[in-house]
Amino acid sequence: MSGGEASRAEVAVVAVAELFRGDGDTLVSPMGLIPSLGAKLARLTFAPDLLLSDGEALLVTADGEVEGWQPFRKMLELIVPHGRRHVLMGANQIDRYGNQNISAIGDHAKPAKQLLGVRGAPGNTVNHRTSYWVPRHSRRVFVESVDVVSGVGYDNAAKVGYSARRFHDVYRVVTNLGVFDFATPDNRMRLLSAHPGVTVEQIRDATSFDVDTEGAGTSREPTADELRLIREVLDPEALREKEVPS
Amino acid sequence: MRNANEVGNVAEIVSLAEGVGRLVHDGDMVALEGFTHLIPHAAGQEIIRQRRRDLTLVRMTPDIVYDQLIGAGCARKLIFSWGGNPGVGSLHRFRDAVQNGHPVPLEIEEHSHAGMANRYVAGASGLPFAVLRGYSGTDLPRHTDTIKQITCPFTGEQLAAVPALNPDVSIIHAQRADRAGNVQIWGLVGVQKEAVLAARRSLVTVEEVVDELEPVPGQLVLPSWAVTCVAEVPHGAHPSYAQGYYERDNAYYEKWDSIGRKRDSFEDWLREKVFTMEGAK
């Protein structure tokens, strides 16, 4: 990653930043390292009006400086009913319609693996825009059907109807291999762009379901200015390279 | 039913051992609240020390404090929305209990964050349930029987209803109380107020008991009549932090991963750090 060449992690940071292009004055809650690097990069460049949460209870600037408080009470009183929010969550499993599982692997009552729990997913997905970040794209994550629907996908929102669809907006999925969206007639996941150096075959092999790859492009390379911000300002210790090895 | 304050009308100042001994009984529903900040760790360890059993533990974000209680076999059920070691990973004692029934089986009642917060608000308001849009389209209503569908009488919209939480006892940690038992909290506050107001009994551990509560910007005051017992427990939130008193002990959270990972290292920890302290307070 010396010189101008961008690493895979750096491409992923930019792909995450692109999630927020055009969001305006939206509260962004990025969960995890690359999600927060991407959100900060967007704010430092093309999306200066973003409000950033630290993933817990503070609002921060791109430099990590605290600029406000956002405890549970504020979220419930202000942001959820009156504000615009875009959450970027992780997913232990995700399916073709964007159903996400972060609750349990196996039977919920007697799981093979107890995960961390549904957290905000049931509310996030039916109240405002939600995207997902998957650092290791594999068949174990991209499954035919998730074990416990925690974040609501398009098919389940449609089954429920108005209450779940009213604000439902599962926007994109960014992984170490590419960027995906659901802008197809039946809201099935499709490949929007493969990261430079990743083939469509590689993505198909790492995905349990059939993913539409027609017309997919290549994720854009970071600009020189973005690389400088990532390397010198946002993540000088290069922790991103541990989350997504090149 | 709520705020019955079985002990009396105003808060009584007691020792931690006495407070737990008097207020927490086998089989109770117990909520320990405090998000990131002011987590009542010392009280949790006192419950272990007093060997309480069959508790239904309630907490929005169970972290180390509940890994310890669950690993020590104090709980039969957990009501929660996230369970992990913040910034580190999984809670190994929690997972061992859910996956393998060790040391005792742990039933889980899983909700979303908003579901938990609104259940406390309903409890504190004396209302039987709360209403949310969240849960629609998820699998949780199939697994959690405290989520029911309800039709809005005004719009006909289908929404989720969740019952009020009214713990037998809620326990929180705060910075200060005065001698009359009025409690003062500042800095990041989660659902502590709702948890205390929703509970039948409450125990507040504090960094210090003072003659007078000097106002602090952004403070929350719980009046003495809403609290059953107050116990002075300096460093009672460690390894979490208490704004104005001490910082978060991040190394402890990292270390907990290796302590909690194995049954025997956890048993050693219990023996050395919890039970040998018996009678110390």
pLDDT at residue B141 above 90?
yes
The single-letter DSSP state of residue A92 is: S
Give the span between the Cα atoms of A180 and A211, in whole angstroms: 9
H helices then E strands: how many in chain B? 9, 13
Q: What is the tens place of the pLDDT at every residue in A61-100?
A: 877 787 776 666 666 666 655 668 899 999 999 999 999 9
Give the span between the Cα atoms of B6 and B95, in whole angstroms: 36
pLDDT band at B280 (very low <50, low <70, confident <90, very high): very low
CB-closest option in B84, B117, B137 to A126? B137
Tokens of A141: 């994550």
The single-letter DSSP state of residue B151 is: E
Chain B touched by A81 (CB under 8 Å): no
> Are B58 and B150 in a shared domain?
no
Segment B169-195 shows an average pLDDT of 96
What is residue A60's predicted lDDT score, i.e. its pLDDT?
Answer: 81
Interchain pair B82, A117: CB under 8 A: yes
pLDDT at residue A56 above 90?
no
pLDDT at residue B5 above 60?
no
Q: What is the tens place of the pLDDT at every residue in B82-109?
A: 999 998 999 999 999 999 999 999 999 9
Average pLDDT, chain B: 94
Q: How far is B186 from chain A (nearest CA, A)?
A: 12
What class is the A8-238 domain? alpha beta
> Are B157 and B181 in a shared domain?
no
pLDDT at residue B19 above 70?
yes
Over pLDDT 70: what percentage of chain A? 91
Tell me if residue A2 falls in helix, strand or coil: coil
pLDDT at residue A31 above 90?
no
Higher-confidence residue of A232 and A55: namely A232
What is residue A32's predicted lDDT score, i.e. its pLDDT?
Answer: 87
Neighbours of A123 (CB within 10 A): 31
* B4 inside domain: no
DSSP A161-215: -HHHHSS-EEEEEEESSEEEE--STT---EEEEEPTT--HHHHHHT-SS--B-TT
For A72, the closest chain B residue by CA position comes to B190
Closest CA to B144 of B163, B126, B158: B163
Q: What does residue B91 show for φ and ψ, rounded to 5 degrees?
A: -100, 115
Q: Which residue has the tokens 């996230």?
A: B82
Interchain pair A109, B143: CB under 8 A: yes
Q: How far is A109 from chain B (nearest CA, A)?
A: 7
Tokens of A246: 């090149």
Interchain pair A166, B135: CB under 8 A: no
Angle at alpha carbon of residue B253, lines to B252 and B257, rounded to 5°: 105
Whole-Å CA distances, B109 to A113, A186, A201, B82, B179: 16, 34, 41, 11, 38
pLDDT at residue B42 above 90?
yes
A96, amino acid identity: R
> Are B42 and B170 in a shared domain?
yes
Q: Which residue has the tokens 């492009």?
A: A217
Interchain pair A72, B112: CB under 8 A: no
> Are B38 and B125 in a shared domain?
no
Domain that holds residue B200: 12-112+165-268
Interchain pair B158, A69: CB under 8 A: no
DSSP-assigned beta bridge partners for residue B250: none
Distance from CA of residue A56 to its chain's centroid? 17
Domain boundary among B148, B163, B178: B163
Q: What is the tens place of the pLDDT at every residue in A207-217?
A: 999 999 999 99
Chain B touched by A68 (CB under 8 Å): no
Q: Is the bond into B40 cis (omega within 30 degrees of 0)?
A: no
The least confident of A10-14, A36-40, A57-61, B261-265 is: A57-61
* B274 inside domain: no
Tokens of A229: 């911000």
| Contact residues on chain A for B110, CB-CB shorter than 8 A | 103, 108, 117-118
Query: Dihedral, CA atoms, B207, B209, B213, B214, nearest 10 degrees?
Result: -60
What is residue B3's predicted lDDT score, i.e. its pLDDT?
Answer: 45
pLDDT band at A175 (very low <50, low <70, confident <90, very high): very high
Chain B touched by A22 (CB under 8 Å): no
Q: Is B55 left (phi over 0), alpha (psi -120 to 50) or beta?
A: beta
Burial class (CB in 10 A: 0-12, 13-18, 19+), B1: exposed
pLDDT at residue A22 above 70?
yes
Q: Per mean pLDDT, which of A27-31, A32-36, A78-82, B233-237 is the most reliable?
A: B233-237
Give the span between the Cα atoms of B250 and B241, in whole angstroms: 10
A200, amino acid identity: V
Interchain pair B133, A162: CB under 8 A: no
Q: Which is it for strands B201-210 and B169-178: parallel, antiparallel or unpaired?
A: parallel
- The CATH number of the domain holding residue B248 is 3.40.1080.10
Q: What is the tens place of the pLDDT at every residue in B154-163?
A: 999 999 999 9
Please state the domain count of chain B. 2
ipTM: 0.83
Closest CA to A94 of A10, A200, A208, A11: A208
What is residue A78's predicted lDDT score, i.e. its pLDDT?
Answer: 60
> Are B125 and B213 in a shared domain?
no
What is residue B281's predicted lDDT score, i.e. its pLDDT?
Answer: 45
| Contact residues on chain A for B112, CB-CB shorter than 8 A | 118-123
Closest CA to B149 of B140, B159, B135: B159
Angle at alpha carbon of residue B95, lines to B93 and B98, rounded to 5°: 110
Q: What is the tens place of the pLDDT at every residue in B197-239?
A: 999 999 999 999 999 999 999 899 999 999 999 999 999 999 9
> Are B152 and B183 in a shared domain?
no
What is residue A2's predicted lDDT score, i.e. its pLDDT?
Answer: 44
Domain boundaries, chain A: 8-238
Interchain pair A69, B188: CB under 8 A: yes
Give the span between the Cα atoms of B150 and B156, in whole angstroms: 9
> Are B100 and B220 in a shared domain?
yes
pLDDT band at A27 (very low <50, low <70, confident <90, very high): confident
- Percentage helix, strand, coil for chain B under 3-state DSSP, each rounded to 5: 30, 25, 45
Helix (H) or strand (E) holding B79: strand B75-80
> Are B98 and B233 in a shared domain?
yes
